[in-house]
Amino acid sequence: MDFSSIPAALPALWDGLQTTLQLLVLGVLGGVLLGTLLAMMRLSHNRPVANLAALYVNYFRSIPLLLVITWFYFAVPFALRAITGEDTPVGAFASCLVAFVMFEAAYFCEIVRAGIQAIPKGQMSAAQALGMTYGQSMRLVVLPQAFRKMTPLLLQQSIILFQDTSLVYSVGLIDFLNAARSRGDIVGQPHEFLIVAGLVYFVVSFAASQLVKRLQKRLAV
């Protein structure tokens, strides 16, 4: 094992890590947003709307993420052409991001739904008795409390997403893992680079999950 060529590769690895982090942050934001919307749909009294959201969630939860990434890599350019009517070149980054947002939304939806359901019904009734509309009571009363409760779970899911971003390797996007793999191949030390990549993923996720555990303890009353 010879790790001497790692320092020279650091800028390239850092570029890859930035792609990974961008995917993570945008994926989490988009996923939580869409997930919250889906959760409200699932809890809606309108049957078809609730069923539609349930179908979405069950569908995405029963197929592998890698399948979604691969499919969207091919399908997003197609779909865009259908919508805009002209060839719109999209890179792997955009298609992967769409895949992550849509896939993770199914998981975030379940977390948000559980969070909303954990808020006592009286909160909603009280808000409405004060004259708020349904939307206002959701936005101002129920959701702020629900999000506080589910922060640890949302963060845990984000750590999983951080690890899952490595799957973009399959469509050739240069994320952290792919940067490490290609660098390792160039300098002829694939093993060393793979080990370093594994270590970095480990350190980041381990530290993050320890922090989440701490947070969970602090939030628990």
Partner 1 sequence: MDYNWDWGVFFRSTGIGEEIYLDWFVAGLGWTVAVALAGWIVALLLGSLLGVLRTLPNRWLSGLATLYVDLFRNVPLLVQLFLWYFLVPDLLPEPLELWFKQDLSPATSAYLSVVVCLGLFTAARVCEQVRTGIQALPKGQTAAALALGLRTGQAYRQVLLPQAFRIIIPPLTSEFLNIFKNSSVASLIGLMELLAQTKQTAEFSAHLFEAFTLATLIYFTLNMSLMLFMRWVEKKVAVPGLLAAGGK
Residue 127 CB, nearest approach to partner 1 (Å): 33
CA-based angle 24:158:64, to the nearest 5?
A: 85
Spatial contact of 137 and 57, defined as CB atoms under 8 Å apart: no
Number of chain positions touching partner 1 (CB under 8 A): 33
188 backbone φψ class: left, alpha, beta (φ>0; ψ -120 to 50): left
**Closest to partner 1 by CB, 61 or 139:** 61
Q: Which range in 29-37, 118-126, 139-147, 203-211 contacts partner 1 by CB under 8 A? A: 203-211
Amino acid at 138: M
Which is closer to partner 1, CB of 151 or CB of 205?
205
Contact 94, 19 (CB under 8 A): no
Contact 146, 116 (CB under 8 A): yes
Q: In whole angstroms, how close is the CB of 44 to partner 1 at the nearest point?
A: 24
* Smaller CB separation from partner 1, 85 or 131: 85
In the window 90-109, what residues touch partner 1 (CB under 8 A)?
none
* Interface with partner 1 in residues 62-91 (CB under 8 A): 62-67, 70-71, 74-75, 78, 81-82
CA atoms in the 13 A half-sphere facing the CB of 103 = 25
Among 17, 106, 111, 177, binds partner 1 (CB under 8 A): 177
Q: Which residues contact 131 (CB under 8 A, 6 or more apart)?
A: none
CB of 62 to partner 1, least distance (A): 4
CA distances from 86 to 74, 77, 80, 94, 119 (A): 16, 10, 8, 17, 47
The least distance separating partner 1 from the CB of residue 138, rounded to whole angstroms, comes to 29
We find the least distance from the C-beta atom of residue 198 to partner 1, in angstroms, to be 5
Judged by beta carbon, residue 26 or residue 208, the one nearer partner 1 is: 208
Task: Find the shortest distance in angstroms from Cβ 20 to partner 1.
Answer: 10
What CA–CA distances, in Å, run from 105 to 93, 113, 154? 18, 12, 11
Q: What are the residues binding partner 1 (CB under 8 A)? A: 59, 62-67, 70-71, 74-75, 78, 81-82, 163-164, 166-167, 169-170, 177, 181, 190-191, 194-195, 197-198, 201-202, 205-206, 209
